[in-house]
Structure 1
Amino acid sequence: MNSQWRADNQVQLLINGEDYFPSVFAAIDCAREEILLETFIIFEDKVGRQLQQLLIGAARRGVRVQMLVDGYGTADLSHDYLQALSDAGVRLQAFDPRPRRLGMRTNLFRRLHRKILVIDGEVGFVGGINYSADHLADFGPMAKQDYAVQVRGPIVADLRQATLALLAESATLQRRSRHWWQRALPLDADSDQASMVLCIRDNQDHPNDIERHYLKALTAARERITIANAYFFPGYRLLRTLRDAARRGVKVTLVLQGMPDMPLVRLCSRLLYNYLLRDGVRIFEYCERPLHGKVALIDRHWSTVGSSNLDPLSLSLNLEANLIIRDESLNERLHEHLQDLCVHRCKPVCRQRVMRGYWWRAPLIFLTFHFIRHFPAMAGWLPAHVPRLKPLLHARQPAEKTT
C-alpha cells in the first residue's frame, strides 16, 4: 500500500444523484484552469447532456478539459455528442475501446470503473455514481441508490496525480503550489479534519490494495462493521475475516441488493448467506430500488467510499478507486443513514428462509462459488492485450478554430 495518508481534509458525503449532480455541475461551472474527469458511464440523457453543455462552456472560456471514459461502459454516445465536445476543445479519450463482433461488445473485462473528478486541483469527487439519469429518483423504480464524496485538501493532489498518471501526462502539465489548499473555499462539509488515503486498484502495481485495506480494518474491528455493496461476492479471506469478527462479538451488518439491476448478481450473493448467517452476521436486502453503492464503515472512525464492489471484477480485474477515510463525523453520518435503510427500507434475511431447500442447493453453491472466485485467473488464460487509451475524436486546436 504505497499511497500516503493525508490529514486535514474537508469531506462531504453525497447521497444519490440529487446530492451529487448539483455539486459536480456547480464545480464544473466555476472551473478556471483544469477539469479532469474519469468515469465508467456517460449516457446521452438529461444528465449526460447537461454535463456536455457545462464542459463545452468551460472549454470555451479557456479551461483545459480532459475526459477519460471506459470503452465498454460509454460505448453508445452519438457522433454529434462527441463532436460538439471536441469542437469546443475538450480532449476525449476512451479506455480500451474494442470493435463489436456480431453486434456484441467484446471488451467485457479489465474495465476502467473509477469515477473521479478533479476541478482546478482544488476540489475532488470520488464515488460510484455515473453520469446518467438512472441515479435520480424521478427515473422510476429502477433508479439507483448510490454514494460519493466531495473533498478539498491535500488529498485532491493525489486524485489529480492518479488521473494524470493514467493519462500519462503528469510530466507535461504544470504542478500546482504545495499549499494551494489553503486558498480553497470551504465546503458545506461533514468534517474539515478528515484523514484520507486514495486507494486504487489496477492490474500492474496495485492489484490488491483495496482488498488489503479492507482486510486490515476488518481484522482490527472491535465494535461494528457495516458494508453496503451492490455486488457482493468476495474471496475466502474477506469472508473468513467477516465471520471471525462476528464470532468475537463485533456487530457485522451487510446491506445488499434486494431489487437487483442484475438478478444473477443477487443469486451469487445469496449463495453465501448461510455461511455468514450461521456465525451471527446480519444481512439486510435493500428492496426500495437497486442498490449501487460501494461504501463501508468500521467502528467509529474508518469509512470507505468509492467505485469498488466486493466481487471478482472489482477486486481482480477492473481499475477502481476508493477513498479510505478516518473521521468520526463522516462515519457517524454514514452509519445513521445505513441504519435508517436497514430499519425502514430493507428486509432482514433470516437463516430459516435461507435453509429451505439448502440440501439440494449445497453442491450448486460449492461449484458456483469456486468457479466465480477463480474466474479472474481463468480469464487470464484467454488471449490478452494491453488495455490502451484511444482518442474518441481529435480536439481542434485554438489556432484551427480561428481559420
Structure 2
Amino acid sequence: MSYAWRDGNQVELLINGEAFYPRVFEAIRAARKEVLLETFIIYEDKVGTELQQVLIDAATRIARVEITVDGYGTADLSEPFLAQMIEAGVKIHMFDPRPRVLGMRTNLFRRLHRKVVVVDAELAFIGGLNYSADHLDDYGPMAKQDYAVVVRGPVVADIHHDTLQMLSPAARDNSRLTPVTRHAGSARIRLSIRDNDDHRDDIETQYLEAIRKAQQRLVIANAYFFPGYRLIRELRNASRRGVKVTLILQGQPDMPWARGFSRLLYNYLLREGVTIYEYCQRPLHGKVALADHEWSTVGSSNLDPLSLSLNLEANLIIRDPAFNHYLHDHLTALAAAHCKQISLERVLRGYWWRGPIIFFYFHFLRYFPAIAGWLPAHTPKLRSLKTVAVGDTNEVCFDQENIS
C-alpha cells in the first residue's frame, strides 16, 4: 500500500542537531502514552547518552517505549548502556543483526536507514539525523549539516502505522492508541517509503514526478548524489526546457569516495545548464529538495544506489508554499555563503582519462537496480534485546524469537 496525500498538517523544518535534538527530547519527556523511535545510528556520546536518559525516564512513566536500530549502524553500544534501558522497560529491537567475521561487520546492504520518531501517535519527526554528537556545531569542522521536520496532523497516523509495521505482529497489537487526525495546519503531506518488498522505487518515483512537472525551479541538496540514469536524464530534460536546476552537493565529504562518484556526473549535467554547488563549510548530510513554489521533500533517502535500491528509507513529500519558500531561502543563503560553484571548464580538466570511467559509470547506474537484484539476498530479521542474569551481573542477549 502506498500512502495517500493527507490535508491539514502542520510542518516545521529543523536544521542541524541544535534544532532537532532539543525538540525530540522535549517531545519524549512530554510523552503520555507511547514513544516509537527508529534510527540508523546511536553513538554512546553526549547525544546518545541524553537520548538514553530521556527514554529511560519515559519508560518509567508510560506504558510503551520501543526503539528500533540498525544492526550495522548501531553495532557498538556497550552492554551496560543497553541494559540500563532494557531494565527500565525500554524495548530495543535490532534490525538484521549478524555476526562479525574477523571483527568486521558483514551486513553492508539492505540497511534500516530511516530516522523516525512518533510520540503518542500525535507528533512525528522524520529526517536525516542520527543520534550522535557529530550533528552539533561544537563537534568541530566535521560537524554535519542536516535536516528534519516535525509534523502534526492526519499524516502522523500514516507515520505511526508504518512505524508499527517494523515491529512483530504481537508488538503491533500492543498499540491501543488511536492516532490524532484532527487538522493542525495547511500543509498537504504524503509519507513515502522505500523497502525491498512492495515499495522498491516509491521515493525515486516521487522525485521523478516532481522533476518532470517542474516549470520554474528545482533545488536538490543531497549528501550522496549518484542516482539512477532515469533521474539524471530527467534533470537534464528539466534544464533543457528552461527550469533552473540547482544541485548542492558535498564539497567537504565525510566519505571522499562519495564526492568522487558525484563528480563523474558533473560534465553531463553542467553541459545541459545545471548549476552545481559544493558545500564546503562542513560535511553535508542532508537529503532535501524542492520544486517550483509548493513541492518539497525531507527525509532519510540519499540519491545513491544504496538508498534508492537497497536500504529502508522514509521521506515526507510536502505541498506547502510557506515551507517551500522557507527551505528555498535557506538553501539559497547556504549556497551564497558556504558553497563554491563548479564550472564546466574546471570539470573538463583531465577529462581525457575520466571519459571511459564516466561511460562505464553511466551504464552501471542505468542497470544498477537490476544488478542489485543479483546480490545475495536474505530475509532481514528484527530481533529483540533482553537482559539475562549471569552470576552477579546482567548481560544483554537477543531474544530467542526472530521476528520478520
Cα separation, 2, equivalents of 1:326 and 1:320 = 20
Residues 228 and 368 in structure 2, CA contact (< 8 A), matched pair in contact too: no
**TM-score (normalised: structure 2):** 0.93
Cα separation, 2, equivalents of 1:379 and 1:343 = 38
Residues 287 and 346 in structure 1, CA contact (< 8 A), matched pair in contact too: yes
Residue 196 (1) aligns with residue 197 (2)? no
For residue 383 of structure 1, the aligned residue among 363, 376, 380 is 376
% identical equivalent positions: 64
1:366, distance to aligned residue in structure 2 (A):
1.7
1:394, distance to aligned residue in structure 2 (A):
5.1
Deviations along 1:263-313, one digit per CA (max 9) or x if unpaired, are: 000000000000000010000000000000000000000000000011000
Q: CA RMSD in A?
A: 1.7
For residue 283 of structure 1, the aligned residue among 253, 276, 284 is 276
Aligned pairs, number: 388
Structure 1: tracts of 5 or more residues without a match: 187-191, 397-403
Specify whether residues 21 and 87 from structure 1 end up closer, same or farther in structure 2 by C-alpha distance, changes over 3 A only. same
Residues 128 and 148 in structure 1, CA contact (< 8 A), matched pair in contact too: yes
Deviations along 1:47-87, one digit per CA (max 9) or x if unpaired, are: 00000000000001134100000000000000000000000
Residue 2 (1) aligns with residue 16 (2)? no
What residue is the counterpart of 1:173 in the other structure? 174
Residues 136 and 143 in structure 1, CA contact (< 8 A), matched pair in contact too: yes
Deviations along 1:2-28, one digit per CA (max 9) or x if unpaired, are: 211000001110000000000000000
Cα separation, 1, equivalents of 2:59 and 2:178 = 23
Which deviates the most, 380-389 or 38-47? 380-389
Residues 157 and 181 in structure 2, CA contact (< 8 A), matched pair in contact too: no
Cα separation, 2, equivalents of 1:102 and 1:374 = 33
- Find the residue that maps to 2:109 and give its secondary structure: coil
Cα separation, 1, equivalents of 2:35 and 2:287 = 25
- Structure 1 stretches of 4+ with a deviation exceeding 6 A read none
What residue is the counterpart of 2:312 in the other structure? 319
Cα separation, 2, equivalents of 1:194 and 1:394 = 44
- Find the residue that maps to 2:49 and give its secondary structure: helix
Residue 269 (1) aligns with residue 262 (2)? yes
What residue is the counterpart of 2:253 in the other structure? 260
Deviations along 1:171-192, one digit per CA (max 9) or x if unpaired, are: 51345446x344x9x7xxxxx2
Residue 77 (1) aligns with residue 77 (2)? yes
Residues 115 and 321 in structure 1, CA contact (< 8 A), matched pair in contact too: yes
What residue is the counterpart of 2:61 in the other structure? 61
Specify whether residues 303 and 392 from structure 1 end up closer, same or farther in structure 2 by C-alpha distance, changes over 3 A only. same
What residue is the counterpart of 1:342 in the other structure? 335
Letter in 1 for 2:139: F
- Find the residue that maps to 2:272 and give its secondary structure: coil
Specify whether residues 243 and 119 from structure 1 end up closer, same or farther in structure 2 by C-alpha distance, changes over 3 A only. same
Letter in 2 for 1:85: M
1:357, distance to aligned residue in structure 2 (A):
1.0
Cα separation, 2, equivalents of 1:216 and 1:376 = 19
What residue is the counterpart of 2:142 in the other structure? 142
Letter in 1 for 2:210: A
Specify whether residues 217 and 376 from structure 1 end up closer, same or farther in structure 2 by C-alpha distance, changes over 3 A only. closer
- Find the residue that maps to 1:92 and give its secondary structure: strand
**TM-score (normalised: structure 1):** 0.93
- Give runs of aligned pairs for residues 43-54 of structure 1, distance below 5 A: 43-54=43-54
- Find the residue that maps to 1:32 and give its secondary structure: coil
Letter in 2 for 1:345: H
Letter in 2 for 1:152: R
Residue 121 (1) aligns with residue 114 (2)? no
Cα separation, 2, equivalents of 1:205 and 1:349 = 38
Residue 299 (1) aligns with residue 292 (2)? yes
Specify whether residues 174 and 99 from structure 1 end up closer, same or farther in structure 2 by C-alpha distance, changes over 3 A only. closer
Letter in 2 for 1:102: L
